[in-house]
Structure 1
Amino acid sequence: MKNSPSKLQQGNFTVEFAIVGVFFALLLVFSADVVVKLAYKGKLERLSYSAASIIKERTEIYGADHFPFEPEKQIGEEATQLYDIVLASLKRTSGNFDAEKFGFQVRMVRENKNVRVPFTQGISCNNSQSLQPLDFVTTFGRRATLYEVTLCYETPSWYGNLIGKEFSRVSSRSVSMGR
């Protein structure tokens, strides 16, 4: 008995369907991975901006914006309180937030120099933008103190696990000028 053309076509269709199915599954995994990363990126962007604004306003309230250069001295308890605020906010807004995968850094910079030792907590954010020179001169010729807040989080990397590469870290950086 000879193979009929319809039987040969059926096998061909199965192979093509499998190839298209694998491609479609990879596309779905990639899309889901991007959605998760964008959601975390948005949360980190809002929180880093809010944190930079909070520390800027606190210095205005306490009247201490023009700090003397003391690069060996830690920023202070304001940074610890700020870390606690950001951490609590992320725990409330993210259902499966893991504090072990979170990184936080606050820098005070004036004339491209650290005014205080940067405050870091959690994982290292390795922010290459953070190494760029930060300097701002006001209209009165005074060098302003800049507050830089960097947040990062290790998100699940479904697509990266499938293709053997790592695309898991999402980060955000905000800079605010002292008042």
Structure 2
Amino acid sequence: MVELALVMVVFSALFAILINYSIAINKKGQLDRVAYSLTTILAERKQLFGSQFNVCNYGTSDCDRKINDLYALAASSMRRMLPTFDESQFGLRIEQVSIDVEDLPDGKVNYKKRYDKLEKGNVAKCAMGNAQSMSKQEAIDLLPITSRKRRLPLYQVSVCYSTPFNILGIGSGDVTHIVATSYSFARV
């Protein structure tokens, strides 16, 4: 009888771990969908943003409006996918890497890397990738050139959601931060 009880405890623990990871994978998949959708929206520069490459006009209220709109869209999508979605545990980061080209009088070209970041929500403890670490040379090598000799910017969208790590984490308050990231170049 004791052996049966031990076997049942082991199977119960394995079942709890399986359920825990299934829930985490489900949330990760939903975050992946949201990150990909937002990246696709940002990449449609011609159709949705009047062919303006930059995510927003930095230093203006346009940035606040855009990050608020994209955050509201992402949070709304998450609410539809997760019935227990808690917006206070959700965060969004949008990054843009671009190359500004300046023609010099001697016929040479000067490249300047530009990095812009917008954040909203709970992103402080999330281990999100950082596009700022890309060097100027890496950006020059990576960013595609259009037929009009313009370099398309790279957009990186990262979303983060904090969730209890395991069944014991619910009681102790331990959380894990699930992060999903998607990349795209501007489409013009």
Bucket of the pairwise TM-score, normalised by the shorter protein:
0.7 to 0.9
Distance 1:131 1:89, change over 3 A: same
Q: 2:5 aligns with which of 5, 18, 41?
A: 18
SS state of the match for residue 6, structure 2? helix
Q: Which residue of 1 aligns with 2:157?
A: 149
CA contact (8 A) 1:154 1:169 kept: yes
Q: Which residue of 1 aligns with 2:83?
A: 95
Give, as a single letter, the amino acid of the residue that structure 1 aligns with 2:152: A
TM-score, L = length of structure 1: 0.76
Q: In the TM superposition, what are the counterparts of 1:47-62 in structure 2 within 5 Å?
A: 47-57=34-44, 59-61=45-47, 62=49
Give, as a single letter, the amino acid of the residue that structure 2 aligns with 1:99: E
SS state of the match for residue 164, structure 2? coil
Residue by residue, what CA displacement relative to the aligned partner does 1:8-60 show, whole Å, maximum 9, x if unpaired? xxxxx41x222212211111111111111111111110110000111121x32
The CA RMSD over aligned residues, in Å, is 2.9
Q: Which runs of 4+ in 1 moved over 4 A?
A: 70-75, 129-132, 164-167
Counterparts of 2:132 and 2:5, CA distance in 1 = 48
SS state of the match for residue 81, structure 1? helix
Structure 2 residue 128 is the aligned partner of structure 1 residue 127: yes
Structure 2 residue 139 is the aligned partner of structure 1 residue 138: no
CA contact (8 A) 2:158 2:181 kept: yes
Give, as a single letter, the amino acid of the residue that structure 1 aligns with 2:46: E
Cα displacement (A) at 1:74? 7.6
Distance 1:129 1:151, change over 3 A: same
The structure with more strand, counted as a fraction of residues: 2
CA contact (8 A) 1:65 1:145 kept: no
CA contact (8 A) 2:39 2:155 kept: yes
Counterparts of 1:35 and 1:157, CA distance in 2 = 12
Q: Who wins on radius of gyration, i.e. which is larger?
A: 1
Q: 2:74 aligns with which of 75, 86, 101?
A: 86
Cα displacement (A) at 1:168? 2.0
Identity %: 24
- For structure 2, the residue ranges without an aligned partner over 5 or more in a row are 100-112
Q: Which residue of 2 aligns with 1:66?
A: 53
Cα displacement (A) at 1:156? 2.3
SS state of the match for residue 17, structure 2? helix
Q: 1:107 aligns with which of 95, 118, 123?
A: 95
- For structure 1, the residue ranges without an aligned partner over 5 or more in a row are 1-12
Give, as a single letter, the amino acid of the residue that structure 2 aligns with 1:169: H
Counterparts of 1:106 and 1:75, CA distance in 2 = 14
